[in-house]
């Protein structure tokens, strides 16, 4: 009986560390991101993805980092991954629409913004402003 309890405790302790590491990488990435240490933050978010490949927030923060580092292809790639994992992620849809607008892809930006307007809860005002900007720029 005692031997069985010891085995259970050892198994729980053994499997507890990876679970803590999963959230720990993301949290560390957030701390680095907040103080603008983007290379360290990028590494931590990538580590988090290794343990939790469906963590849309790590991909979202990676896209923000890549945008700040002027790597728009990787920013777009990570935003597409967020949207694939969660098609309702308003921030990712907005950021991708903004990225498309910045690269003069007005049609794609308009399409993404229309999608955002149809489901928005938090990004409604930003989406309305973006619509005005898209309309203004696409007429030029």
pLDDT of residue 140: 62
pLDDT recorded at residue 17: 47
Find all residues with CB under 8 Å of 59, minimum gap 6, and list them: 45, 49, 78, 79, 81, 82, 85
User: What residues contact 12, with CB distance under 8 A and at least 6 apart?
Assistant: none
Residue 14: what pLDDT?
52
Q: What is the pTM of this model?
A: 0.81
- What is the domain count for the chain? 2
| Final residue belonging to a domain, choices 40, 68, 86 | 86
Q: Is 111 helix (H, G, I), strand (E, B) or coil?
A: helix
Q: How far apart are CA 6 and CA 78, in angstroms?
A: 44
Which of 45, 69, 86 is the endpoint of a domain? 86
User: Is residue 111 assigned to a domain?
Assistant: yes
Give CA–CA dist 6/3, Å, rounded: 5
Mean pLDDT (10-residue bins), the chain, 140 residues: 52 47 86 98 97 97 97 98 97 97 94 93 90 83
DSSP 123: S
Domain span holding position 105:
90-140
Judge whether 65 lies within some domain: yes
Residue 65 and residue 119 in one domain: no
């Amino acid at each position: 009986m005692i031997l069985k309890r010891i085995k259970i405790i050892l198994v729980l302790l053994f499997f507890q560390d990876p679970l803590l590491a999963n959230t720990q990488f993301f949290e560390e990435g957030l701390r680095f991101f907040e103080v603008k240490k983007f290379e360290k933050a990028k590494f931590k978010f990538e580590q988090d993805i290794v343990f939790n490949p469906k963590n849309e927030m790590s991909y979202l923060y990676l896209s923000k980092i890549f945008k700040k580092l002027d790597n728009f292809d990787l920013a777009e790639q990570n935003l597409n991954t967020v949207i694939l994992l969660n098609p309702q992620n308003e921030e990712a849809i907005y950021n991708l629409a903004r990225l498309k607008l910045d690269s003069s892809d007005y049609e794609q930006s308009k399409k993404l913004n229309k999608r955002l307007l149809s489901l928005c809860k938090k990004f409604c005002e930003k989406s309305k402003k973006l619509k005005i900007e898209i309309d203004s720029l696409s007429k030029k």
